[in-house]
Structure 1
Amino acid sequence: MRCTSLYTDKYAALSNYLWTHYREALKSVRLLTAELETIKAELRLSDNDFPGFFDQERIYLDGLKQPAPRDRLSIRYVEVLDELAERRAEWDLARESGNNALNGVHIGSLEQMHDALKQARIRVNSSYAKLQHAEGLVAHCETLLSVDERWLIGGDEYKRFKEEATLGKYHTALDELEHLVVMRLFELSKLSLSGTGYKLRQQISKALQRRSDTIRNAINRYNIQAASLIPPRQTITWKDIAEYSFLGEFDLLHKDWARPAHREATTKYFKLCRAREEIIRLNIEIRRLRTAIHDETIDTSAVIDELLVANPLLAAELKRQWRSRAAINAVHTYRLDQIERLFGFSGISGIGTRLANPAFSRPVNTNGASSAQAENPDSSASEFHDIEALDREEHEVVTEDMADFCTQ
């Protein structure tokens, strides 16, 4: 019962939903079209620019994403391969130095020779321990990646993830530098505020001095990573950072898609696109509802006509319930007519043709009904008496439905 009541309520509100959304969509299209025309004229933009802004922002945000877990592990594998090569080179140098200490001719006291040999042994042992550690890291990464044959330094896979590793270090250095520069700009803006007291100004000045040293170190790290890219990116000097006096000079805000006016225009453009898509969808649903009402009326009337002969009581009950449904359909038809009379309506008026709509037929047991009437000849009179009672009840329900419709 609860599901039936919920379905009835949803069905009764269907045309009102279509009516409300169609009006809102038409209103959005009118307003957004007028606003966009003005904005495009002021900013010298066209409709082709907005998808481009969206794609540029997506590319920028995709660049901020962390790579996939396997890619991160592959990048780490490339890094430990480089570390292994460095550790092996250090170990070779340490062994060569140790051999020279053993085989070379020492000038000096026996104690000095002993110290030199001791230092050479410590260097060899330390470099060998680091080499073993690097070997363990490489073996662990190879196990996680299921690498059967170790990647060659300079191979295709190595080069691919080496570039990603270098680019990742560059973005890390760039993000750090951007963060420090933005913090510096905010602190500079605080210094220029009229309500800032002397003590707070002193604290901000000291913080700026400390931050300046941190920014210089960040600049050095950024320039190292920028130079390692292929092709190399432009380096930055402290003079470039010092010339930034407000946030509007920051590089990100120089991009067209990041400008507030362009972002607002892009948002309006895509809202307009969605409103037009909604109108297309509503045009389909409006004709579909009108067609469903038409088909349901024909099918139900045919069934009632058949049941009037075969089972008058069932026909009366179905007719009673159908009149309540017909009252709801009358409301829907009225709303659909309102929508089609709206200025800007772009759908197809009238009734459509439902796809895969077989002729509605239901077998009626006329023999069973006739035999029942033959066995009980008085049943016919009682059935027609019940039909009159059902008609009176039906009339009251229809009256209530039409009253609800008139109050909407």
Structure 2
Amino acid sequence: MKKSHTEADRGIFDETGIFVATCRHMFVLWALDMIKSGEQRKYALAFLHRFLSAIKEERANLGLRSPGKKAFGYDIGCQLQTTLDTSPLQPLAEEENARMVTGSLHGHAHNRLCQLKFLLSYINGCGLEDLEVLERLFSLSNALAMAIRHASKFHRRQMISSWFYHHDNFEAYANLSKFIYNNYRQALTILEAKDSVISRMRAIGVLDGKEIFGWLDEEKEYLESRREEPEEDLNRMDLYVKQVKLNECRARLEAAHSAFIAYNPSDYPANVKRTNAVEQTMRHEQEKEEKLMSEVHFLERRLELKEPWTEDSEEWKKAEEMFKNHSYRKAVNRLEGLIVARIFELSKMHMAGTGYKMRQHLGKALKTRSKAIQEAVRTYNTAAAKLSPPREALSYDEVVEKAYVSELDFLKDTDSNIHEKIWAVPANRVLMTEYFKLFRASEELDRLHVEIHRLLTYMKEEQEYLRAVELNISENNPQLAYQVSLYRWERGRFNDLHRLRLRNIISLPGFDDTNRRFFRAGVGLKCQSQGEDERADDNMGEEMDVDRVNGEDDSDSEGEEGDIQAEAQVTAILGVAVD
């Protein structure tokens, strides 16, 4: 989406690409064309408006009062959050408890302060989701580009929508239980390290997990302080700067006044008019002098000075030394914030479990940010040379080659010693990451239990509904009934595979038997308005479905032979063996 590429595309195509929204299971919610533009925030705002409006309407129809929290992932979710807060959608987003977050792949390429606010690892309720579903979806759909490149507008949209339909029904739905199974296994694997994390926490003197949450607050406060100027004696330094500028302005005014007096029009050719230019220069310097004098008088009254400063006065010398030290500390703080954030992100690059693509993505982001570090090094060297005695100059290579905060000697001159921060120790940062993974894994299990219960309920009620519709219209409209049966077989061809995978979750190491209650079909919203007799029948069917999923029924049709038969049916339909 580089500007140079999109500008070239606009001369050929009206549609420069598609903007897509999906759920975390890779089902496509909406897709729209980007017309004569690159990727812009207006498309994301349009999706947010449509989704939040639909959720609000559904909540009102169901009589639900309290909206749940909703997280929306976007590559630049931090910037989109700022746009959302200032847009007309802000009241709706606040009412629906919606907020933007950044995915794991793109989020780690943002600066550290942004990560602390928007990265999924530090946001309660996000589980183990990485919010990079669209990266995988676009990778799957790359083969579609050759077919639609020279298609008409109608056929292009037709092929894209047909591909999405096929993907949702034969890819996303078929892999739905696989997604649940893999996430469940991943969460249990992470939770196995709980005892190890607790023992390492006690080894460094952390007895309460709230201390680690405090580390995040301290780090956020520290990084924010690196962006702000210290408040100490700002008025005195401001007065010193204004007086220096005033003296320089008076020197220029004196030179301009002398030039105006010595100006003789006869010294120039008749066609050269310099009188106005010389007079204008002198008048501009006079206006600047009056403005600076007004500002100096204001600061003098604010500081309650009895007499103005001169270059020989002690107050002037103290303010001059204070300003030099302030400029130096400001340059150090700026460089410190950039270097510390870079080192922390480098630790993520070399952390176990970080994939190749993540490393490449982080490397490109750090390379781009190195320009800011180069500028900060130049500013630091300028400020360090003005000190008495002057500090040693730094080189860019010397700074970026450091791997640990303790190796940066110039940070000892800062007003906050980061060497003493417990959260800056590399081993403790790894521990902090593992600690938050435990929270996210526990949240993921809670979410998966809801999804398992809903999936079993959905499969049961959808098949019952389609059978009822097919039976109801079979006599009067057999052709339509046949189409309903085809659709029922299409939807139900993966149900046995889903049940097998969900049953395999129960046999995973570390599974808690108390969670078996989630592995049963319930009653959907459309069926909750039925009478008591019908609900009783549903409950009987529900208990039978529990036995089927848990493998506790002793009958031949639902026991081991039933499993083998179901596996054979799935294998015959899909052409693959079931693990």
Structure 2 length normalisation: TM-score? 0.37
Mapped partners of 2:451, 2:421: distance in 1: 42
For the structure 1 residues 335 and 269, does the alpha-carbon distance in structure 2 shift closer, same or farther, using more than 3 Å as the test? same
Deviation >6 Å, runs of 4+? 127-131, 165-168, 176-179, 219-222
Q: Which runs of structure 2 are paired with 1:8-407 in the superposition (5 Å)?
A: 8-9=169-170, 10-31=172-193, 33-45=194-206, 46-65=208-227, 79=238, 83=242, 87=246, 132-135=287-290, 153=299, 169=327, 171-172=329-330, 174-175=332-333, 218=387, 250=412, 251-342=417-508, 343-345=510-512, 346=515, 348-355=518-525, 401-402=572-573, 404=575, 406-407=577-578
Aligned AA (1:296): E
Whether the 8 Å CA contact 1:328–1:401 is kept in 2: the answer is no
Mapped partners of 1:275, 1:155: distance in 2: 61
User: RCO greater where, 1 or 2, for CA within 8 Å and sep 6 or more?
Assistant: 1
Mapped partners of 1:166, 1:50: distance in 2: 38
Task: For residues 74-111 of structure 1, give each alpha carbon's deviation from its aligned partner in whole angstroms, at most 9, with x where no partner exists.
Answer: x99x94897169849x98xxxxxxxxxxxxxxxxxxxx
Whether the 8 Å CA contact 1:84–1:134 is kept in 2: the answer is no
Aligned CA RMSD, in angstroms, stands at 5.0
Aligned AA (1:404): G
Identical aligned residues as a percent: 23
For the structure 1 residues 138 and 155, does the alpha-carbon distance in structure 2 shift closer, same or farther, using more than 3 Å as the test? closer
Shift of 1:135: 4.5
How many positions carry a matched residue from both structures?
Answer: 260
Whether the 8 Å CA contact 1:36–1:265 is kept in 2: the answer is yes
Shift of 1:323: 2.5
Q: 1:6 aligns with which of 167, 172, 177?
A: 167
Shift of 1:334: 1.7
Mapped partners of 2:436, 2:459: distance in 1: 35
Aligned AA (2:164): C
Q: Which residue of 2 aligns with 1:237?
A: none
Aligned AA (2:520): G
Structure 2 stretches lacking a partner, 5+ long: 1-161, 251-281, 303-322, 338-380, 392-405, 531-568
Shift of 1:131: 6.4
SS in 2 for 1:309: coil
For the structure 1 residues 344 and 399, does the alpha-carbon distance in structure 2 shift closer, same or farther, using more than 3 Å as the test? closer
For the structure 1 residues 132 and 336, does the alpha-carbon distance in structure 2 shift closer, same or farther, using more than 3 Å as the test? same
Higher Cα Rg, which structure: 1
Shift of 1:23: 0.2
Q: Which residue of 2 aligns with 1:372?
A: none
Mapped partners of 2:301, 2:166: distance in 1: 69
Task: For residues 275-330 of structure 1, give each alpha carbon's deviation from its aligned partner in whole angstroms, at most 9, with x where no partner exists.
Answer: 22222221211111111112112211111110222212222232233224223111
Shift of 1:258: 0.9
Structure 1 length normalisation: TM-score? 0.51
For the structure 1 residues 177 and 315, does the alpha-carbon distance in structure 2 shift closer, same or farther, using more than 3 Å as the test? closer
SS in 2 for 1:12: coil
Mapped partners of 1:154, 1:351: distance in 2: 78
Write 1 or 2 for the structure with the bigger share of helix.
Answer: 1
Shift of 1:353: 3.0
Structure 1 stretches lacking a partner, 5+ long: 68-74, 92-126, 140-149, 157-164, 180-211, 223-244, 361-397
Shift of 1:255: 1.4
For the structure 1 residues 83 and 403, does the alpha-carbon distance in structure 2 shift closer, same or farther, using more than 3 Å as the test? closer
Mapped partners of 1:48, 1:62: distance in 2: 21
Mapped partners of 1:316, 1:136: distance in 2: 88
For the structure 1 residues 341 and 355, does the alpha-carbon distance in structure 2 shift closer, same or farther, using more than 3 Å as the test? farther
SS in 1 for 2:522: coil
Task: For residues 381-401 of structure 1, give each alpha carbon's deviation from its aligned partner in whole angstroms, at most 9, with x where no partner exists.
Answer: xxxxxxxxxxxxxxxxx7775
Task: For residues 55-80 of structure 1, give each alpha carbon's deviation from its aligned partner in whole angstroms, at most 9, with x where no partner exists.
Answer: 1111111122368xxxxxxx99x948
Whether the 8 Å CA contact 1:324–1:401 is kept in 2: the answer is no
Mapped partners of 2:491, 2:327: distance in 1: 68
For the structure 1 residues 38 and 350, does the alpha-carbon distance in structure 2 shift closer, same or farther, using more than 3 Å as the test? same
Mapped partners of 1:300, 1:151: distance in 2: 85
Task: For residues 129-157 of structure 1, give each alpha carbon's deviation from its aligned partner in whole angstroms, at most 9, with x where no partner exists.
Answer: 86632545799xxxxxxxxxx9954899x
Mapped partners of 1:131, 1:22: distance in 2: 75
Whether the 8 Å CA contact 1:15–1:336 is kept in 2: the answer is yes
SS in 1 for 2:446: helix
Aligned AA (1:303): V
Write 1 or 2 for the structure with the bigger share of strand.
Answer: 2
SS in 1 for 2:523: coil
Whether the 8 Å CA contact 1:290–1:351 is kept in 2: the answer is yes
Whether the 8 Å CA contact 1:173–1:221 is kept in 2: the answer is no
For the structure 1 residues 51 and 86, does the alpha-carbon distance in structure 2 shift closer, same or farther, using more than 3 Å as the test? same
Whether the 8 Å CA contact 2:449–2:518 is kept in 1: the answer is yes
Aligned AA (2:288): H
